[in-house]
Structure 1
Amino acid sequence: MTHQVEERAAEQTAVARDEGEKSARRVARRRRWRQTALLVAGWAAMWLVWEYGSWYLGGRILPRPLEVLAEMVEILRSGAFFSDFTASVLKTFAGFAVAAAVGAPVGFLMGRYRYWRAFFHDGVTIAGTIPAIVYAVLSLIIFGLSNLGPILAVALVSAPYVALNVAEGIRGVDKQLISMSEAFGRSHREIRREVLIPTIVPFVFAAIRMCFAVAWKVEALTEVFGGRNGVGFQIRTQYQLYSITGVLAWMFLFIAFMLIIERLVLAKAEARLLAWRPEERSTAL
């Protein structure tokens, strides 16, 4: 009799769990449909505003959206965009790698030890408040017309954000959880792997997404000032030709690919890695 009651309870638990999963999937599906509808409505509104602005100001000052779209298609067809975009991506990712290699250890020390926090805090804060254009100009002065200038500018802009977010993630770790782990004989390596790293992952993704938005701007800005290739270089070329259509076409191609990387790479990776958190579970479904 007791065995039958236990089996019935287990079956009821499994059914409840399945119903909960189905309900969560339905909620996630409805949320995605609402977000898609709002996204389409937002783009349609911007398109109408642009059309009105082009009619009001004139096509020479603000080309119509279809003219810019035709120029974008021509750039893609010629193959010029992919070579320049690849150059910009590689320089940006190289700057990210340098920023992570410097910022993550500094942030770990700042969050873990008071002495290192006092040692690094003011310098990291000041580095994060310096305008990106200053880093771009300094990089060009130091390295001139080379690929190292944009890489250095991206690294200098991104490293403070990485350090501060990692430090806040380390400081947010539950001290009682660490004490309990030590009481159960966990080694320092196990505590880092199973307690500290899972805690700081959301902060690391926040730093990546914040740096991602800033790094592309400073990288393109550096290329506009003194690059030899890349999207910023092409924008400067179109500016020298007084082609507003060309400038807008390269700008919107740049924006489109950045949105694709942000939504299809960063957002999906974040949702998968943080699926264990209740607030992220519906996104990962």
Structure 2
Amino acid sequence: MTQTIVPPDTEPAPRNPVTGSRRRKTRAAGPRRWIVSGVALITAVAAWAVVAAWVNDPILPQPLNVFERVVDIIVSGEALTNFASSIGKIVAGFAIAMVGGLIIGFVMGRSRFMTAYFSLPLFVLGSMPGLTYAVFGLLIFGVGPGGPIVVSALVALPFIAMNVAEGVRSVDGNLLAMCRAFERNRRDVLRHLYLPALVTFVFAGVRYGFAMAWKVEALTEVFGASDGVGFMIRKAYQEFQVDDMLAWTTLFVVAMVLIERGLAYLENRFFAWRKEIA
């Protein structure tokens, strides 16, 4: 009696216990991606250092000087205070956008007339330049938190509404007919049919909406705010502190990347079963 030995490099991937499909081994892709990203970052910083040494002017500080300012800003507590202010404004704006986006997206998904009615306004809101939002926020609300909050809501609203509409359209019509046949009330239909279908679409809208809203919110703070990351960038610009301006910009970019990666991880963690089924 002979036995067939499968070589290690040709061993089949384990099957998914739910769907029975084989899962591809993708863990090795993660470290390779981080290595490539790290090499690209180191190359960019090295090029920055070489150009700064060649220019030899305060208008282009060395990366080490900017890093020292980043550390000073974090240690002094200014980073925590101003980032908390900016994130608080975005959260308030997102709360407004979430309520409006859920309502508008739901009626768009249920009615072709509402889709035609809201398509152009949402397209305009999503396509308007961030500078326009910042200027109007300053003109209408002045210096204060009102402008960044409203601007964040207007920027995030189209992404949430359009994704909610797609989620509503994705609901199986046969399931709706079954609910009507069994005389299920609207509360049960919303809770057990629409809500599971909308969660992934809403999460995707929040991810893209957050990335856009924070950039425009920071730009609005540059024009009209008394605190926040954008205000600190404007303050550094007015004082001609280029290293401070680059330090705040670096902190802003790092925070955005961390938050976006965190949201992507949560999406993959909680909704991986949908991708496996697909």
The TM-score with structure 1 as length reference comes to 0.83
* C-alpha contact (below 8 Å) 1:51/1:65 kept by paired residues: yes
SS where residue 269 of structure 2 aligns? helix
**Structure 1 residue 51 displacement after superposition:** 2.1
Taking a change above 3 Å as real, the CA distance of residues 74 and 202 of structure 1, as seen in their structure-2 partners, is same
**Structure 1 segment 41-190 matched on structure 2, within 5 A:** 41-183=39-181, 185-190=183-188
The number of residues matched between the two structures is 263
**Structure 1 residue 279 displacement after superposition:** 4.7
**Structure 1 residue 280 displacement after superposition:** 9.3
**Structure 1 residue 153 displacement after superposition:** 1.0
Q: Corresponding residue for 1:207?
A: 205
Q: How far apart in 2 are the matches of 1:94 and 1:16? A: 44
**Structure 1 residue 74 displacement after superposition:** 0.9
Taking a change above 3 Å as real, the CA distance of residues 16 and 107 of structure 1, as seen in their structure-2 partners, is closer
**Structure 1 residue 238 displacement after superposition:** 0.6
Taking a change above 3 Å as real, the CA distance of residues 182 and 70 of structure 1, as seen in their structure-2 partners, is same
SS where residue 146 of structure 1 aligns? coil
Computed over aligned residues only, the root mean square deviation of the Cα atoms, in angstroms, reads: 2.5
Moved more, 246-255 or 135-144: 135-144
* C-alpha contact (below 8 Å) 1:274/1:280 kept by paired residues: no
What percentage of residue pairs aligned between the two structures are identical?
Answer: 41
Q: Corresponding residue for 2:274?
A: 277
Q: How far apart in 2 are the matches of 1:242 and 1:155? A: 32
Letter in 2 for 1:217: K
* C-alpha contact (below 8 Å) 2:211/2:260 kept by paired residues: no
Q: Corresponding residue for 1:248?
A: 246
**Structure 1 residue 62 displacement after superposition:** 1.9
SS where residue 32 of structure 1 aligns? helix
**Structure 1 residue 89 displacement after superposition:** 0.8
* C-alpha contact (below 8 Å) 2:156/2:213 kept by paired residues: yes
Moved more, 183-192 or 144-153: 183-192
Q: Corresponding residue for 1:267?
A: 264
**Structure 1 residue 183 displacement after superposition:** 4.2
Residues 105-126 of structure 1: per-residue CA shift (max 9 Å, x gap): 1011111122322332222222
**Structure 1 segment 224-239 matched on structure 2, within 5 A:** 224-239=222-237
Taking a change above 3 Å as real, the CA distance of residues 115 and 77 of structure 1, as seen in their structure-2 partners, is same
The answer to which structure has the higher helix fraction is 1
Q: Corresponding residue for 2:30?
A: 32
The TM-score with structure 2 as length reference comes to 0.85
Q: How far apart in 2 are the matches of 1:280 and 1:47? A: 42
Taking a change above 3 Å as real, the CA distance of residues 38 and 179 of structure 1, as seen in their structure-2 partners, is farther
Taking a change above 3 Å as real, the CA distance of residues 16 and 255 of structure 1, as seen in their structure-2 partners, is closer
Residues 76-129 of structure 1: per-residue CA shift (max 9 Å, x gap): 111111111111110111111111111111011111122322332222222222
* C-alpha contact (below 8 Å) 1:271/1:280 kept by paired residues: no
Letter in 2 for 1:213: A
Taking a change above 3 Å as real, the CA distance of residues 114 and 242 of structure 1, as seen in their structure-2 partners, is same
Show structure 1 runs of 5+ residues with no match. Answer: 1-14
